[in-house]
Amino acid sequence: MDVYQYNRGAWDQACREGNRWSIPVSPEQIAAARGGEIDVVLTPLRPVPRDWFPEPFAGTDLLGLACGGGQQGPLFAAAGARVTTLDASPAQLGQDRLVAEREGLDLRTVEGDMRDLPFDDASFDLVFFPVASLFVPDVLPVWREAARVLRPGGALLAGFVNPLYFLFDDAALAHGEMVVRYRIPYSDPRDCDPEQLAGLRERNEPLCFGHSLEDLIGGQLAAGLQITAFVEDRWDGEEKILDRHIATFMATRAVKVR
């Protein structure tokens, strides 16, 4: 299965169906960003700390990596950054353009693969990467590419899923039971049975992958990035059984040191 092409189509469909990560920001949010209020998330709920961003922020060359949807990219542009958004999904990129046209923002969109970026070395001061590493079978190329396009001293802000999230049987979790079924690293194509995979395709759900902490954190270090800050987060809205016990999302700030 071509995971890139499949997930590209799945996110196009999710966008058409009004996925929460595809709903454009409001004019009021854009106005707040123009006033210097940078209120964005890398994980479901927790705002990114303000001191994770460059100061001053205006004039920052920023790459929104796998970041379409009409949300973070337009807010960054309104706050004065020179923004490029890369995403596999044309529909998600279309949401960014919709907001940019509506608000008169200068924002560039590029369709592409997060593992093979079509940008020159040292092109950006900041790479903003919300939870999207779970949509690639191997996250290590993503870290290497992010480090490559960053300038020395530039920062990668990345959100990702706690690997333990992928250990448990989904059907049991839905009934409030934690039943360990899988192992890490996890892969939908490898670990789901044919009926489960057929259900994912029928519902147009993206294929997901659970990476080890060694790849999620050690992979950034190996790519020449130094982690300078770390936070955790949980699902919001509907109560999730795992989140009663431990945070299921994490985010890191890492600086390019070599």
pLDDT of residue 235: 85
pLDDT of residue 164: 94
Residues in the chain predicted with pLDDT less than 70, given as ranges, are: 237-239
Q: What is the pLDDT of residues 74-95, one digit of tens each?
A: 999 999 999 999 999 999 999 9
pLDDT of residue 239: 58
CATH code that applies to domain 3-161+207-256: 3.40.50.150
pLDDT of residue 241: 86
Domain range list for the chain: 3-161+207-256
What is the C-alpha to C-alpha distance for residues 251 and 231, in angstroms, rounded to an integer? Answer: 5
Q: Where are the alpha helices (DSSP H) in 140-193?
A: 140-149, 170-174, 188-191
